[in-house]
Amino acid sequence: MTKTRAAITAVASHVPDYILSNKELEKLVDTTDDWITTRTGIKERRILKGEGKGVTEMAKVAVEKLLEKRGIGPEEIDLVIFCTVTPDKIFPASANIVSAKVGMSNAFGFDLNAACSGFIYGLVTGSKFIETGSYKKVIVIGADKMSSIIDYTDRQTCIIFGDGAGAVLLEADESGSGIQDSILRSDGNGMQYLHQVAGGSEYPPTEETVAARQHYVHQEGKTVFKFAVSNMADVSYEIMERNNLGADDVAWLVPHQANLRIIDATAKRMGLGKEKVMINIHKYGNTTNGTIPLCLTDWESKLNKGDNIILSAFGGGFTWGSVYLKWAYDPS
């Protein structure tokens, strides 16, 4: 019997126009273009400017491009999974908001929060609705407006993050392409090293929490770096091993873009040369849930049907994981 798998059948992305360069950051905090470039690989990032503009502003554009590319209408979408740590509001879900904005009137949707690993968690979650035959067209969005929770007086974090949105369409595939395997992990003991202290039910917003700058991202960079390097590399190697994939069998690694040194360590562990690694961190920085779909969109013209692709991420929580998929279509 032919196995039904969930395949990515279209990808699209959107980033805001405003470019925040390393040179501009030099004016905000005690840093240098050289330090940022050598320690992270980032040269610039995009920022969504304007009052009252949340993450769904960017996601809306990405989804509209996605539907246009696939040549389908918004009413054909069954489910929207919106992976983000910066929803427009705590409730209702940004999935609902973007569905209304785009006209996906037959879709139900929900938000998924797994920090920087959110997009791969969302992809695996969405794939189950396709594999079981429950739904035919599922959109997984990975998007964040990180500038809404970044402290631009903290040089440890403000140099890293940026804003951006990506989206993929999942549909059934019976030709052998699509999602083959996944490994998803989490460990709440890592919470303290990368989190937003206040704003949730534990410490609701007060004048004191605002004054103490507790609504911004707090990160102990060095510790997160160590966990990210070992866990992202291990999980990427593990998924290759259990699927009997050697380095020659892998066409592309699509890593979460948090730090070029973490990406290099992961590729090295997998035995992959730089030519097989998607890297756009220099242009966008770390867009949290946006990084992987932004890469897939940037590299879409280089992807061929049957290519073995490994997606890999690590993020706050801690959360991490990898997905092995076979690309489902040739460049148009």
Q: Known catalytic residues?
A: 116, 256, 286
CB atoms within 10 A of CB 155: 16
Judged by CB under 6 A, does residue 317 bind ligand UT7? no
d(CA 216, CA 166): 23
Least distance (Å) from ligand UT7 to the CB of residue 164? Answer: 13
Nearer to ligand UT7, 315 or 321 (CB): 315
d(CA 48, CA 166): 15
# residues contacting ligand UT7 (CB under 6 A): 20
What does the chain come to in residues? 332
Nearer to ligand UT7, 227 or 329 (CB): 227
Joined tokens for residue 27:
């004016």
Interface pick for ligand UT7 out of 156, 180, 214, 308 (rule CB under 6 A): 156
Judged by CB under 6 A, does residue 104 bind ligand UT7? no
Binding mask 191-230 for ligand UT7 (x = CB under 6 A): ------------------------------xx-xx--x--
Q: What is the DSSP string of 7-19?
A: EEEEEEEE--SEE
Least distance (Å) from ligand UT7 to the CB of residue 109? Answer: 25
The strand pairing partners of 315, in sequence order, are: 319
d(CA 165, CA 136): 23
Burial of 27 (0-12, 13-18, 19+ CB in 10 A): exposed
Interface pick for ligand UT7 out of 55, 59, 95, 116 (rule CB under 6 A): 116
Judged by CB under 6 A, does residue 35 bind ligand UT7? yes
**Secondary structure of residue 37 in the 3-state scheme:** helix
Q: What is the DSSP string of 108-147?
A: EEEEE--GGGHHHHHHHHHHHHHHTTS-S-EEEEEEEEGG
Backbone angles phi, psi at 160, to 5 degrees: -90, -45
- Range in contact with ligand UT7 (rule: CB under 6 A) among 32-40, 84-92, 272-280, 304-312: 32-40
Least distance (Å) from ligand UT7 to the CB of residue 63? Answer: 24
d(CA 10, CA 173): 13
Judged by CB under 6 A, does residue 143 bind ligand UT7? no
Nearer to ligand UT7, 40 or 236 (CB): 40
Interface pick for ligand UT7 out of 95, 114, 168, 262 (rule CB under 6 A): 262
Judged by CB under 6 A, does residue 43 bind ligand UT7? no
Interaction site with ligand UT7 (CB under 6 A): 31, 35, 39-40, 116, 155-156, 159, 221-222, 224-225, 228, 258-259, 262, 286, 314-316
